[in-house]
Amino acid sequence: MGRVLSGIQPSGQLTLGNYIGAMQNYVKLQHTEECYFMVVDLHAISVAQEPAKLREQSEAVAALFIAAGIDPLKANVYMQSHVRAHAELGWIMTTLSNMGELERMTQFKEKSAGKESVGAGLFVYPPLMAADILVYNSDLVPVGDDQKQHLELTRDLAGRFNSRYGEYFKIPEPYIPKVGARIMSLDDASKKMSKSNPNPGSYIALLDPPDVIRKKISRATTDSGREVKFDPASKPEISNLISIYSHCANMSVQEVEARYEGQGYGPFKKDLAEHVVSVIEPLQANYNEIRKSGEIHAILKQGAERAAAVADRTLAEVKERMGFLPPQ
Ligand code: ATP
Ligand code: LTN
């Protein structure tokens, strides 16, 4: 059994992009691997969060993990901030990082572009993510395409630690879906679908009511022409919708193209909305039940206890190797 770790920020409403790019693989991997799935609240505060919202969104993300099919008896589900070793190893990973390599991170560049003042938390976000992964000596990290570069940095930091202090960390591998690793915005297929986009029409939230989903899909930008053809270079908008269709209807891209040959965008979009709703509706029913039951708190407590047992051991070993005087 390998170790698997991943996390999602409680920085807004989870989207269909989070579900297709990351959560579906969490659900799959829990059957064969030892899994750690966190709500990464420490990462979320790299941009200012309103306290009441952060609290609500944190609980919502945890409940959505369970609603999407993560079984808390199989996988550990918990809050990043409940396992203190993350923050402490995060600092250690920051000291192993170079300014130059952090400056090259695309996510940092995008999130700081055009801002007058940029929080230092955004800059040291990637070494904290490296700590999340390495504190469990993880083998596999299921993520969407946008996290590839952070994974590369994690691998570099693990290697750097090993060469300074002796072989210790495993070098983790990303686990990225073949189709759907980058679901794009509904209003602009050059940007990824993101829960922190200020325009809610740009994303499908997992908790959007079915009629809102139908409306958002009917208003989604399409390319000129009317052919339902997967060609990301010349038809980026419709290709994105085809990827979503393919995931939600469990059909290959070719099958989707064949079904709508000669029919234009109208019928395609209508059916797409129904396929998305059919994936999201049962998830929402599970979600409502979990929130009502209040059981999420016990799940998070147990997850954090199990995770801390592993993480604390790694942290103690890392500190010993680095020459920290052990507490007596
Ligand atoms: P934010 O926009 O607030 O930075 P986000 O929506 O990108 O957040 P994260 O919490 O950063 O979400 O990402 C959680 C996981 O979901 C990551 O593995 C990420 O790669 C994946 N993911 C996020 N957006 C998409 C997307 N549009 N397509 C595929 N995967 C995605
Ligand atoms: N940076 C990730 C969230 C994240 C993460 C992790 C993902 C924080 N720690 C550890 C995988 C493993 C993002 O999706 N923005």
Same domain? 127 vs 271: no
Least distant ligand from the CA of 130:
2
In-domain check, residue 193: no
Q: Which atom of ligand 1 is the closest one to the Cα of 7?
A: 14
Cα–Cα dist 58/63, whole Å: 9
Same domain? 159 vs 211: no
- Per-residue confidence (pLDDT) for residue 180, from 0 to 100: 78
Cα–Cα dist 83/41, whole Å: 11
153 lines ligand 2 (CB under 6 A): no
6-15: per-residue pLDDT in tens?
A: 999 999 999 9
- Per-residue confidence (pLDDT) for residue 238, from 0 to 100: 97
143-192: per-residue pLDDT in tens?
A: 999 999 999 999 999 999 999 999 999 999 999 988 778 999 999 999 99
How far does the centroid of ligand 2 lie from the alpha carbon of residue 6, in Å?
A: 6
**Which domain range does residue 130 map to?**
3-176+294-322
Same domain? 145 vs 252: no
Same domain? 257 vs 171: no
Same domain? 225 vs 271: yes
Query: pTM here?
Result: 0.95
Least distant ligand from the CA of 40:
2
> What CATH number is given to the structural domain containing 277?
1.10.240.10
221-238: per-residue pLDDT in tens?
A: 999 999 999 999 999 999
How far does the centroid of ligand 2 lie from the alpha carbon of residue 267, in Å?
A: 37
In-domain check, residue 189: no
In-domain check, residue 194: no
Same domain? 46 vs 167: yes
Task: Write out residues with Cβ below 6 Å of ligand 1.
Answer: 8-9, 11-12, 15, 17-18, 20-22, 143-144, 146-147, 181-183, 192-196
Same domain? 18 vs 71: yes
Strand ranges (DSSP E) for the chain?
3-8, 34-39, 75-79, 140-142, 173-175
* 111 counts as catalytic: yes
Same domain? 85 vs 149: yes
Same domain? 167 vs 217: no
Cα–Cα dist 259/269, whole Å: 12
Same domain? 8 vs 114: yes
Helix (H, G, I), strand (E, B) or coil at 231: strand
Helix (H, G, I), strand (E, B) or coil at 310: helix
CA–chain centroid gap for 328, Å, is: 39
Write down the catalytic residue from 28, 53, 109, 111.
111
- Overall domain count for the chain: 2
Query: Residue 328: pLDDT above 90?
Result: no
> What CATH number is given to the structural domain containing 118?
3.40.50.620
Q: Which atom of ligand 1 is the closest one to the Cα of 11?
A: 3
143 lines ligand 2 (CB under 6 A): yes
In-domain check, residue 327: no
Write down the catalytic residue from 192, 216, 235, 269.
192
Least distant ligand from the CA of 128:
2
Same domain? 147 vs 250: no
Same domain? 18 vs 155: yes
In-domain check, residue 169: yes
* 192 counts as catalytic: yes
In-domain check, residue 83: yes
Query: Residue 291: pLDDT above 90?
Result: yes
In-domain check, residue 182: no
Structure tokens that stand for 60 in this block: 């919502």
* 115 counts as catalytic: no
pLDDT over 70, % of the chain: 100
How far does the centroid of ligand 2 lie from the alpha carbon of residue 313, in Å?
A: 22
In-domain check, residue 108: yes
